Structure 1
């Protein structure tokens, strides 16, 4: 996955530019979260990009088009919502899970492989054929599964009270 990101998104080793421009260097490391989900931390150097001071100046300038577009971008890619409802609604929809495929109750989505994406309809003027209906039901199950995965694996409280080594209380970041 990382090699595909380097090749197709950053354009490393390719004739064409990457998504962000000409990549002049990168460093990355993969780590796991508490539930063995892997994620990548990466630094990327882009040739002829703005310096940190130029970025700072543009972000702090209220008349800057850069500031407006940066805020719009950040708001478009960061969300904290579920796909099918609020956190209490999703919590109420989570079934009691069994422990194995042969056990009682459904198996949590964290313990099974995902369903294969259905094939695409190739008809130019489709009237909701069987292939389209299969795709629609797959997407419905996908949204439910994503909500369940988010609720089971990716929730955290940012302001829990913790204690340091001396027993003194302090605020800090802490996962569930």
Structure 2
């Protein structure tokens, strides 16, 4: 609630919250996954936004793009994928690779003794603010400012670490040895396969999750129809909010709904999860048995 600014004295990271609704889904691997709709107070309707964009109001366009680029993005904070992959430390296999196990041990990745996977740790609170009364502190040796700069640097590195581990999509065929049930499989093996991630590529090899996404080098408004393309530099990453990634420390997907069609689609999608049946008891015990055997 602190992030959304609900029941607090400050606004949330997306603005003043008018309403929200979310539901937590238990995935097949027994991890929790949140689906949430957020309404911003005093926000314009999609049609009102389109009308303003079509009217060529430069100040409104700039303000809207600045807001959207601040609240969600589709790239890393400290560089591109290749740069982040080399810079992010790789935890030894015996310590695990996080609940997502997205990346494997790689000789090209940096090894740092004592490094901890951020998906298995809690966020570090920021240091106290500078006590200077001026807008910008001029003391180069101000301890609060030094700590703040160091914290923000570590914050960006941590966010990129989490994104690399949990938000980089990897296409995988739907029909593979992990999901196809064979006549020789035991009941436990069959249950695990039924609840396993089935991949995203159909029989034609197309990704049903719509990856890779289009790269947009710079945010822009189409003057003909008012369509807004937000900057996005990583084709295999969904859009995220860095502050949410840092706090939740897992895969997140943040999307601004700027059309009636998108709103209806997402409301339907979230509603489907609200009414989704939970795992059957025998599937839960089969998964637990499989986990204990590892």
- Structures share a fold, TM > 0.5? yes
Question: For 2:201, which of 152, 158, 162 is the aligned residue?
Answer: 162
The counterpart of 2:84, out of the listed 87, 90, 112, is 90
Higher strand share: 1
Q: Shift of the alpha carbon at 1:122?
A: 2.2
Higher relative contact order (Cα pairs below 8 Å, separated by 6+ residues): 2
Q: Distance in 2 between matches of 1:67 and 1:151?
A: 31
CA RMSD between the two structures: 4.2
Q: Kindly state the Cα deviation for residue 93 of structure 1 after the two structures are TM-superposed.
A: 1.2
User: What is residue 75 of structure 2 aligned with on the other side?
Assistant: 81
Q: Write out per-residue CA displacement over residues 127-150 of structure 1, whole angstroms, 9 at most, x where no aligned residue.
A: 413343333222222221111111
2:39 to 32, 44, 51: 44
Do structure 1's residue 140 and structure 2's residue 140 form an aligned pair?
no
Verify the 8 A CA contact 1:30 1:40 in the aligned structure 2. yes
1:19 aligns with 2:55: no
- Which sections of structure 2, spanning at least 5 residues, go unmatched? 97-112, 174-199, 212-235, 238-294
Question: What TM-score do you get using the length of structure 2 for normalisation?
Answer: 0.40
2 CA distance for matches of 1:43 and 1:130? 38
2:115 is matched with 106
Does the Cα contact within 8 Å between 1:119 and 1:131 map onto a contact in 2?
yes
Is the contact between residue 96 and residue 105 of structure 1 (CA under 8 Å) also seen in structure 2?
Answer: no
CA-to-aligned-CA distance 1:37-90 (integer Å, 9 cap, x gap): 75452253868x75555555445x353566665455434433223222221011
Could you tell me which runs of 5 or more consecutive residues in structure 1 were left unpaired when the two chains were aligned. 11-17
TM-score, with length taken from structure 1: 0.60
1:63 aligned partner: 56
Q: Is 1:172 the equivalent of 2:166?
A: no
Provide the secondary structure at the position in 1 that maps to 2:152.
Answer: helix
DSSP 3-state at the match of 1:7 = coil
Q: 1:106: how far off?
A: 1.8
Q: Secondary structure at the match of 1:6?
A: coil
**Secondary structure of the corresponding residue to residue 137 of structure 1:** helix
Cα displacement string for residues 3-52 of structure 1 (whole angstroms, at most 9, x for unaligned residues):
96333548xxxxxxx837xx4xx4511446979575452253868x7555
Answer yes or no: is the 8 Å Cα contact 2:5–2:16 preserved in 1: no
Distance change >3 Å, CA 33–CA 67, structure 1 → 2: farther
Match of residue 119 from structure 1? 128
Count, aligned residues: 157
SS at match of 2:5: helix
